[in-house]
Structure 1
Amino acid sequence: MKHSRKIHWLSALALASLATPVVALGTGVLDGAAGPVTRQVEQSAERLVERRMARHIEDRVETATKTLRNPLENLPSKLPVLTEQGEVAFNDVVVEDGWRAVEREWLFTGTDEEIARLDQTGITLLKRQELGGLGVNLVRFRVSPELDSREALRSILPELTDRLDRNHIYSPQTDEPPPKPQSRAPQWQSLCSSPVRVGMVDTSIATDHPAFRQARLVQSRFLKVDGAKGQLAEPRAHGTAVASLMVGDFSGDSPARLPGATLYNASVFFDRNRNLSGATLGHLLQGLNWLSEQAISVVNISLTGPDNRVLATVTGNLLDRGIVMVAAVGNQGPAAPPLYPAAYPGVVGVTAVDDSNELYRWANRGEQVMFAARGVSVPVAAPDGGLTSDSGTSLAAPVVAAALACRLLATSPEQAIEALIGTARDLGEPGRDRSFGHGLLDY
């Protein structure tokens, strides 16, 4: 009955908008004598209304998201981050443009001579590391309140400011509300059974989950804080979900996408509060350095944050060494600015679509989008051993990372990406666009 009323309503719209053709058909259209023609008119009108409604909804969403969807806004301006033993490790604070960072901590990459110039009043060197896999000497330092800005540091270190930046805190890119239990099993197929080596930086993985019983997982934790007792409390949900999309075997219709892979996970995220985790750039760099030493071909990064000079340098170095970086473009909405590292040149930025190939409503848009993959209401592994449903560009990125890992076995990074472009299903505007990139990789 509801369907019938809908058809009659759409028919009325068709008559109103296509008056001349309908009159030419005569009364037979209305009394059933020209049934096929009637159905064509009704279907045409229904498609017209649906397109108009879709455009109207999209316009409203676009307007609503002029105010960015930013879960960081729900955090206090100063959030003490605790170790597992309950000791304050550092303060997570608001800095320029609403981003978050470790309070008054900065990072710098340079030569021994340049590092020596940091010996200034108001600057305390905290740690120096040679990150050979990233090709940098990294220094972490704390500044006095008076020096806690780029302008202030430029006044005393004018020649170094292009290579220093805050110890920013980055966030994972899945949906904010708690994920829902999932009874529907995932459905996908293996992409290749070769012994590929894939990296990811994320939360810890619940390696005892049944989906990983056949998987080769190697993970290392980067959650220690100098001067604090113990390490930061580590979440497990996000990394478990992301890993399950690459090497999780759910049996039946859902074998692992990469059944022969060894997956290396750098656990860098800590608990901020009940629903939000974070990763300091310092820990992220340590994790990337470890991954670069594991002979991986591709690294999945399902996190986002601000443009950072140190992260930009490291990203470029990894790309120069032939490691393909696949990153989620972010979930702050269509009006949001580009997020990083997805927006750095050479990084493969990935957005999310649902089962109907509609763009995830909170997905960022822009020139950084290269591919789309399934990432809405996706069944994934949960730390408790079951399945859950979650959404976000974080869950689309590992699908593309898995596809690239298989391609990179026999080709260069450039050729592998070109091959994926050739197989992508064009969505949205013809050719590459700011919403879907080159199109959907439906694996």
Structure 2
Amino acid sequence: MLFQPLLANLIYVLSTAALLMLLPAHVNLGPLGSLPALADDDDESDDDDDDGPRAVRRAPALPDYAPDEILLINASDAALSKAVELGLNIYSTEVIRGSQLTISRLRLPPGLDAPSALEALRRETPGQAADLNHFYRLQQAAEVSGNPYACTSSRCYGQRMINWTREIAACGDGIKIGIIDTGVDVSHPSLSGQPVKNVSFAAPLTRPSSTQHGTAVAALLAGKGGREIQGLVPKARVYAADVFHVSAAGQLTADAVSIARAIGWLKEQGVSVINISLSGSENRILEQAVKDALAAKISVVAAAGNDGRKRRLVTLPRYPASSPSRRSMKSCGLTAEPPKGRTSPMRPPA
């Protein structure tokens, strides 16, 4: 099988994910993947007679990290002892399957904030990898609407931009693709009967995520076609790692530990490429998890987004797409001109 040409094409193909989310629904997810909250009708009658557009109440900003814990990576006994001396409580140690990671989670005492605790721990344990348990959000909320049928006419522009053909798709028969996203509705008509394995790595005792975004990405990749969405590689095997949960504020949230677990599991499944549909702060745990995947010859693709850090007039991709160790992708329009930034161009590989 032509795995290397296929993987090169898949890396570019995944950049069209935001363009081809064509599930049979009329739903526009709000910021951070939360559903828009509609403002109430402001008169005293029962009917909904405000003729203008209904206001959308924006969800509060998602915190950048868990406020009450610090993470240690492959901690030495000396580092753990020093953490206890600083007043931190070691409440769990976990070996991440499929990786070289052991994560120790430290609970903070009352009155100590996480950044200050991290700074003190790094100062007292030089050389020991430590970080916050950062939170991550969907990089692009899927906007899905319209006709659910096979790609025709103007609905195929993403595939045409990368010169995707049936012959290229056939190279992907049986290939294993991993996605790190929300859950996937395997009963959706586009995926019913398709080889999709869906496992949750979200924090325990939390409200499950919506399946809209993950289902859209899975259908884009492996939809069975016919009168449903035609996937780019319909005979691929998809391994979907759900890392999101719904926070108390109603926001889709993932943390660094859940994502590291997901990457390790996908590595164990023998996937050839991983698509990561989220972004947030740089994190040492995730950096090591991705390095483990790359060492296993797994290609890693991350959504870059169009709202990352500003440097002069250029928008840089958000993490993890901003890391040089992985490919990053931005969305583009019908003109095939992507926003400026340090991302892969929209063209098929040579």
**Normalised by the size of structure 2, how large is the TM-score?**
0.70
C-alpha spacing 1:116/1:132, structure 2 compared with 1 (3 Å): farther
2:99 corresponds to: 134
1:358 shift after superposition: 3.4
Alignment correspondent of 2:52: none
Deviation at 1:343, TM superposition (A): 1.2
Q: Paired residue for 1:124?
A: 89
Aligned to 2:28: none
**SS, match of residue 66 in structure 2:** strand
**Aligned to 1:105, which of 62, 65, 69?**
69
Larger radius of gyration: 1
Aligned to 1:331: 306
Residue 370 of structure 1 corresponds to which residue in structure 2? Answer: 344
* Residue of structure 1 in register with 2:235 after alignment: 260
Unpaired runs of at least 5, structure 1:
1-69, 78-91, 95-99, 374-419, 423-443
For residue 421 of structure 1, what is the amino acid of its counterpart? P
Deviation at 1:166, TM superposition (A): 1.0
Q: Residue 270 in 1 paired to residue 245 in 2?
A: yes
Q: Secondary structure in 1 aligned to 2:328? A: strand
Report the Cα offset of residue 322 of structure 1.
1.3
Unaligned runs of 5+ in 2: 1-30, 34-56, 160-164
CA contact (8 A) 2:182 2:243 kept: yes
Structure 1 residue 121, shift from structure 2 partner: 4.1
Matches of 2:178 and 2:107, distance apart in 1: 31
Matched, 1:306 2:281: yes
Residues 75, 144 of structure 1: alpha-carbon distance in 2 compared, 3 angstrom cutoff: farther
Contact 2:184 2:211 (8 Å CA) reproduced: yes
**Could you say what the CA RMSD is over the residues aligned between the two structures, in angstroms?**
3.0
- Measured after TM superposition, the shift of residue 110 of structure 1 is 1.8
- How far the C-alpha of 1:293 sits from its partner, in A, is 0.6
Bigger relative contact order, structure 1 or 2, given CA contacts below 8 A and separation 6+? Answer: 2
Alpha-carbon offset, residue 249 of structure 1? 2.2
Give the aligned residue type for 1:127: S
Residue 149 of structure 1: how far off its partner (Å): 4.1
1:288 aligns with one of 260, 263, 267: 263
- Deviation readout 1:241-266 (Å, 9 max, x if unpaired): 11111001232695332122111011
Measure how far apart 1:233 and its partner are.
2.3
Matched with 1:196 is 175
CA contact (8 A) 2:275 2:302 kept: yes
Matched letter for residue 297 of structure 2:
G
> Displacement of 1:175 after TM fit?
4.2
Query: Retained in 2: the 8 A contact 1:201–1:287?
Result: yes
1:39 alignment counterpart? none
Number of corresponding residues:
276
Amino acid at match of 2:191: F
Q: Secondary structure at the match of 1:286?
A: helix
CA distance in 2: counterparts of 1:334 and 1:222, whole angstroms: 29
Paired residue type of 1:262: R
How far apart in 2 are the matches of 1:156 and 1:297? Answer: 37
Check conservation: 2:309, 2:318, Cα contact below 8 A: no
TM-score of the two chains, using structure 1 as the length reference: 0.56
Q: What amino acid is aligned across from residue 339 of structure 1 in structure 2?
A: R
> Does the Cα contact within 8 Å between 1:305 and 1:339 map onto a contact in 2?
yes
Q: Cα distance, 1:307 vs. partner?
A: 1.0
- Kindly indicate which of the two structures has a greater share of residues assigned to helix: 1
| Pairing partner for 2:130 from 151, 161, 164 | 164
Contact 1:352 1:372 in 2 (8 A): no
1:303 and 1:327 in contact (8 A); partners too: yes
Distance across 1 between alignment mates of 2:122 and 2:330: 39
SS in 2 for 1:372: coil
1:245 aligned residue (220, 236, 245):
220
Matches of 1:277 and 1:244, distance apart in 2: 20
